[in-house]
């Protein structure tokens, strides 16, 4: 995990700029490992706290500060992944990874202050699509760490072994097992433009309460999952079957009336939807599309997971 850093002064080790320049990479690693931007920010904050808790001499002795930071962040994430399994047992309803808008659209900072910090943006690629994150969430913590660090960020198994506390050979096996999970679950995706057209047609049919059109856009075995976290009303169980989803969503549209508006957007790098009620974003929808039909819908309504979408957006 080598990295280039600026030389610091003789008393404190690497300069502040060199250390803080690692923040973007740490956010990207932690989000993929945890599926939550809020938790990723906490991990990065804790990682930096541990760095500056060391004496200046100890910091000077670190040969590669970037490698040290990723190692510490990885260990914190590994611990959090273990405890997250216990927390999920008490989570109300289904848990879906936190959705992300396009980097240029979000505003970070828990205080709600305006301004976008580029260091807080997660780079959107195939490794953060909702379908990918859902598969990652089904892995064991060690599998997830080994796979993400090796296959996504290209770190060697010898260094990953230091994080998960296993041999490099064992880490290689963990990543191989994770790869098999990915291959089994992966759906060939069509071009983004084609996916956007299907999402657009879905939005139009939904607003028109056109059950037949919705059924035509949904795979017969489609699954719709919602995450309200006990803080927003959702269907308590996943809805299975294209026709059942079409009828359920049509009923939602009827109940919502004219107060709800739909907006096409990018969700975790792919075409998605958001719905607004009285100008406030209340739901973010991510889709998995196979061929010409929607195979999976993930609807995130938990307001705690919509922070990057809601802060500073107003009613534009």
Q: Do 207 and 273 form a contact (C-beta atoms < 8 A)? A: no
180 and 198 both lie in a single domain: no
Give the pLDDT confidence score for residue 14 in this predicted structure: 66
The sign of the dihedral angle between the CA atoms of 307, 309, 313, 316 is negative
CATH of the domain at 264: 3.10.450.50
Q: In this structure, is residue 171 part of a structural domain?
A: yes
Number of domains in the chain: 2
225 and 117 both lie in a single domain: no
Instruction: Label residue 120 by pLDDT band (50, 70, 90).
Output: low
Give the pLDDT confidence score for residue 109 in this predicted structure: 40
Q: In this structure, is residue 1 part of a structural domain?
A: no
Place of tokens 């289904």: 94
**pLDDT tens digits, one per residue of 21-80:** 999 999 999 999 999 999 999 999 999 999 999 999 999 999 999 999 999 999 999 999
Residue 246: alpha-carbon gap to chain centroid: 26
Tell which of 170, 185, 200 closes a domain: 185
Give the whole-angstrom CA distance, residue 92 versus residue 256.
23
155 and 36 both lie in a single domain: yes
**pLDDT tens digits, one per residue of 125-134:** 888 999 999 9
Q: In this structure, is residue 6 part of a structural domain?
A: no
Neighbours of 100 (CB within 10 A): 24
Give the pLDDT confidence score for residue 190 in this predicted structure: 59
| Residue 5 scores a pLDDT above 80 | no
Average pLDDT for the chain: 87
Residue 87: alpha-carbon gap to chain centroid: 18
159 and 284 both lie in a single domain: no
Give the pLDDT confidence score for residue 3 in this predicted structure: 42
Q: In this structure, is residue 315 part of a structural domain?
A: no
Q: Do 50 and 3 form a contact (C-beta atoms < 8 A)? A: no
Give the whole-angstrom CA distance, residue 179 versus residue 280.
39
Quote the domain boundaries for residue 139.
16-185
Q: pTM to 2 decimals? A: 0.87
113 and 228 both lie in a single domain: no
82 and 197 both lie in a single domain: no
Joined tokens for residue 67: 């490698």
Q: DSSP code of 148?
A: I
113 and 215 both lie in a single domain: no
Q: In this structure, is residue 234 part of a structural domain?
A: yes
Q: In this structure, is residue 253 part of a structural domain?
A: yes
Q: DSSP code of 61?
A: T
Give the pLDDT confidence score for residue 123 in this predicted structure: 84
Q: In this structure, is residue 316 part of a structural domain?
A: no
Instruction: Label residue 115 by pLDDT band (50, 70, 90).
Output: very low
């Amino acid at each position: 995990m080598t990295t280039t850093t600026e030389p610091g002064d003789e008393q404190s080790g690497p300069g502040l700029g060199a250390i803080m320049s690692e923040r973007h990479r740490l956010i990207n690693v932690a989000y993929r490992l945890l599926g939550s931007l809020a938790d990723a920010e906490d991990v990065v904050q804790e990682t930096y706290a541990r760095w500056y808790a060391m004496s200046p001499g100890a910091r000077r002795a670190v040969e590669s500060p970037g490698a040290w930071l990723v190692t510490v962040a990885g260990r914190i994430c590994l611990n959090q992944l273990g405890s997250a399994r216990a927390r999920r047992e008490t989570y109300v309803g289904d848990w879906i990874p936190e959705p992300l808008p396009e980097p240029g659209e979000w505003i970070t900072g828990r205080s709600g202050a305006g301004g976008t910090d580029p260091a807080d943006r997660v780079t959107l690629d195939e490794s953060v699509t909702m379908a990918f994150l859902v598969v990652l969430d089904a892995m064991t913590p060690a599998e997830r760490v080994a796979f993400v660090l090796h296959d996504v960020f290209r770190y060697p198994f010898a260094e990953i072994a230091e994080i998960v506390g296993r041999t490099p050979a064992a880490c290689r096996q963990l990543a191989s097992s994770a790869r098999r999970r990915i291959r089994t679950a992966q759906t060939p995706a069509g071009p983004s433009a084609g996916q956007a057209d299907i999402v657009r047609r879905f939005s139009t049919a939904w607003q028109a309460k056109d059950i037949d059109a919705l059924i035509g856009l949904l795979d017969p075995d489609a699954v719709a999952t919602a995450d309200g976290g006990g803080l927003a009303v959702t269907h308590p169980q996943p809805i299975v079957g294209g026709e059942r989803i079409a009828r359920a969503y049509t009923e939602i549209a009827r109940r919502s009336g004219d107060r709800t508006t739909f907006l096409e957007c990018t969700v975790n790098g792919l075409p998605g939807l958001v719905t607004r009620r009285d100008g406030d974003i209340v739901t973010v929808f991510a889709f998995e599309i196979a061929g010409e039909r929607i195979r999976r819908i993930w609807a995130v309504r938990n307001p705690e997971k919509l922070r990057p979408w809601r802060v500073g957006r107003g009613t534009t």
